[in-house]
């Protein structure tokens, strides 16, 4: 939570079957390492912590404050609890003088991780009562947490960036719409999905910030849009590496395999995203989905991309097509940079958030989610620049008369040589007296048919 975050604790309804006295107690504790007590909630649910146990004594930290109100009567008209009297937790102003702050029971004094624990118990264990309360935490920027607020700003900035991408691509396409390549339609689709994904995520975070409530349906929709965008982005990298529209006019059966790989990635990406919304980031389905997606990314996508990319560049080098070869060389350098950046980032996140004994860098948690979107936006802008619509668009398009000219010339020369040798062998005919007699058209035709019959007969014997 941010500094000066107000913790509001109000009563929604309070019903008792008879006169009941109860005691309410709450604790607020700041801790530097957010992984100090990962099992606190689990132990509380299992009742391993006794109801009369001092939580501040259990947490063993001086930055822990508590208050206790005893002998409170059950009252259906009760709306708020008495606020904390601890001066360290309240501001210099009187809480009762602040409009709309009657339900504020505590305020944080610094940025960081906090634990807020509420304990309610009655004198008689067999007493019948029903208490419905509302707990909210509102900081200087709204209801959003301090760790998620940078992520909301990031999605807003990325949404603006993708809008600029779309406007730029639309302007390029409008200027040179007669020379649009097939690969450029794929790029336009990726830009549109990226813009939609960032807009949906930003709207969800903004909704949380304004209302304090998360809309699960909107989150699931955002995760599905993200899965589609990531799938299409990886397919774009693969078909670019295959030379679609640049070296090959069509991919044939390879396209079916590429689509199958994309469908496989989308299924696991969608499952992983939905399970993260429903069950949390530590759910078993999320962990398995992350592992499978990592395998598909590292082995299939990147390995296949670099393998096909090497074959495409080899083909362009043999054909001495310097324009397209330079294009793919820049694209290869971009992918190499992306792989190296991914490796460095994974090492950093493992060291900072996985194996660190004290995970105190809470201000950097948002980077773990934002990095991959930012990295792909860099790859996308490079692809946009390299394959942008221009007046020289057709220089990058597949042209059979030029791209296959070397192969056709070589094949034509071999065929011509064989045909010439055959004509020379049949140009003359030796008669019985040993003199050469020029072959007529009839003799040439008869000789050709006889040779063909002999060759067919010999081939049948061999078989």
Mean pLDDT, residues 101-107 taken together: 73
pLDDT reported for residue 250? 66
For residues 103 and 194, membership in a common domain is answered with no
Euclidean distance between the first and final Cα of the chain, in Å? 84
Tokens of 402: 């030029």
| pLDDT of 149 strictly over 70 | yes
Specify if 427 maps to a domain.
Answer: no
CA distance 110 to 126: 41
Residues of the domain holding 300? 149-402
pLDDT in tens, 252-304: 777 788 888 889 889 988 988 888 888 776 677 777 878 888 888 777 667 67
For residues 341 and 195, membership in a common domain is answered with yes
Specify if 428 maps to a domain.
Answer: no
Q: How many structural domains are present in the chain?
A: 2
CATH assignment of the domain containing 181: 1.20.1070
Contact 351, 368 (CB under 8 A): no
User: In 3D, which of 400, 392, 245, 410 has the Cα closest to residue 323?
Assistant: 392
According to DSSP, the residues that pair with 31 across neighbouring strands are: 113
Mean pLDDT of the chain: 72
Q: Give CA angle at 431 (430, 435), nearest 5°.
A: 70
For residues 156 and 63, membership in a common domain is answered with no
For residues 261 and 112, membership in a common domain is answered with no
| pLDDT of 139 strictly over 80 | yes
Q: Which of 357, 373, 402 is the last residue of a domain?
A: 402
Contact 272, 286 (CB under 8 A): yes
Total residues found in the chain within this entry? 463
For residues 24 and 164, membership in a common domain is answered with no
Q: Which of 402, 421, 455 is the last residue of a domain?
A: 402
Mean pLDDT, residues 177-200 taken together: 86
- Confidence class of residue 248 from pLDDT cuts 50, 70 and 90? low
| pLDDT of 441 strictly over 50 | no
Judge residue 245's burial from the number of C-beta atoms within 10 Å of its C-beta, 0-12 exposed, 13-18 middle, 19 or more buried.
Answer: buried
For residues 108 and 176, membership in a common domain is answered with no
CA distance 323 to 325: 5
pLDDT reported for residue 449? 46
| pLDDT of 153 strictly over 90 | yes
pLDDT reported for residue 290? 80
pLDDT reported for residue 165? 95
For residues 19 and 117, membership in a common domain is answered with yes
For residues 125 and 159, membership in a common domain is answered with no
Of residues 402 and 224, the one with the higher pLDDT is 224
pLDDT reported for residue 102? 67
Q: Which of 114, 138, 162 is the last residue of a domain?
A: 138
Contact 124, 19 (CB under 8 A): no
Contact 390, 172 (CB under 8 A): yes
Of residues 181 and 175, the one with the higher pLDDT is 175
Q: Strands 21-31 and 64-73: what pairing? A: antiparallel
For residues 52 and 108, membership in a common domain is answered with yes
- Confidence class of residue 56 from pLDDT cuts 50, 70 and 90? low
Sign for the CA dihedral angle at 193, 384, 242, 394 comes to positive
pLDDT in tens, 33-53: 766 665 555 555 554 445 445
What lies within 8 Å, CB to CB, of 153 at 6+ separation is none
CA distance 136 to 210: 12
| pLDDT of 191 strictly over 90 | yes
pLDDT reported for residue 414? 40
Specify if 453 maps to a domain.
Answer: no
| pLDDT of 379 strictly over 50 | yes
Specify if 334 maps to a domain.
Answer: yes
CA distance 25 to 83: 11
pLDDT in tens, 292-347: 888 887 776 676 777 878 887 887 788 777 777 888 888 888 888 888 898 898 88
Q: Which run of H or E residues covers position 206?
A: helix 182-211
User: In 3D, which of 7, 6, 48, 9 has the Cα closest to residue 131?
Assistant: 9
For residues 198 and 117, membership in a common domain is answered with no
Neighbours of 100 (CB within 10 A): 8
pLDDT reported for residue 254? 73
For residues 21 and 133, membership in a common domain is answered with yes
The proportion of the chain whose per-residue pLDDT surpasses 90, expressed as a percent, equals: 11
For residues 179 and 320, membership in a common domain is answered with yes
């Amino acid at each position: 939570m941010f500094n000066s975050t107000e913790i509001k604790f109000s009563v929604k309804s309070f019903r008792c079957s008879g006169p009941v006295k109860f005691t309410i107690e709450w604790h607020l504790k700041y801790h530097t390492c957010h992984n100090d007590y990962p099992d606190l909630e689990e132990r509380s649910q299992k009742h391993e912590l006794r109801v009369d146990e001092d939580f501040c004594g259990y947490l063993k930290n001086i930055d822990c404050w508590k208050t206790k109100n005893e002998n409170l009567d059950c009252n259906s008209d009760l709306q708020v609890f008495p606020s904390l009297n601890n001066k360290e937790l309240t501001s210099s102003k009187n809480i009762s003088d602040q409009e709309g702050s009657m339900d504020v029971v505590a305020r944080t004094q610094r940025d960081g991780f906090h634990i807020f624990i509420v304990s309610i118990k009655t004198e008689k264990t067999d007493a019948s009562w029903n208490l419905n309360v509302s707990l909210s935490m509102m900081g200087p920027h709204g209801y959003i947490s301090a760790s998620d607020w940078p992520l909301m700003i990031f999605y807003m900035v990325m949404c603006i960036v993708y809008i600029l991408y779309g406007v730029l691509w639309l302007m390029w396409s409008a200027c040179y719409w007669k020379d649009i390549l097939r690969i450029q339609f794929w790029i336009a689709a990726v830009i549109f999905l990226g813009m939609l994904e960032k807009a949906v995520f930003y709207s969800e975070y903004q909704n949380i910030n304004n209302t304090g409530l998360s809309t699960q349906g909107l989150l699931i929709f955002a995760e599905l849009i993200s899965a589609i965008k990531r799938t299409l982005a990886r397919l774009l990298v693969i078909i670019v590496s295959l030379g679609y529209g640049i070296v090959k006019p069509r991919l044939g059966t390879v396209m079916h395999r590429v689509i199958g790989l994309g469908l496989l990635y989308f299924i696991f990406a969608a499952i992983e995203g939905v399970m993260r919304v429903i069950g949390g980031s530590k759910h078993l389905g999320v962990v398995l989905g992350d592992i499978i997606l990592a395998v598909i990314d590292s082995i299939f996508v990147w390995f296949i991309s670099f393998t096909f990319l090497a074959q495409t560049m080899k083909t362009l080098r043999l054909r001495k097509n310097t324009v397209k070869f330079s294009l793919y060389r820049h694209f290869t350098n971009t992918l190499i940079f992306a792989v190296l950046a991914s490796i460095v980032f994974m090492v950093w996140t493992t060291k900072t958030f996985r194996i660190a004994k004290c995970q105190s860098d809470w201000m950097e948690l948002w980077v773990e989610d934002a990095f991959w979107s930012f990295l792909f936006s860099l790859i996308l802008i490079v692809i946009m620049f390299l394959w942008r619509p221009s007046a020289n668009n057709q220089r990058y398009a597949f042209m059979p008369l030029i791209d296959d000219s070397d192969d056709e010339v070589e094949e034509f020369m071999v065929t011509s040589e064989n045909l010439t040798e055959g004509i020379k062998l049949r140009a003359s005919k030796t008669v019985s007296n040993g003199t050469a007699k020029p072959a007529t058209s009839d003799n040439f035709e008869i000789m050709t048919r006889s040779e063909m019959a002999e060759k067919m007969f010999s081939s049948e014997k061999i078989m």
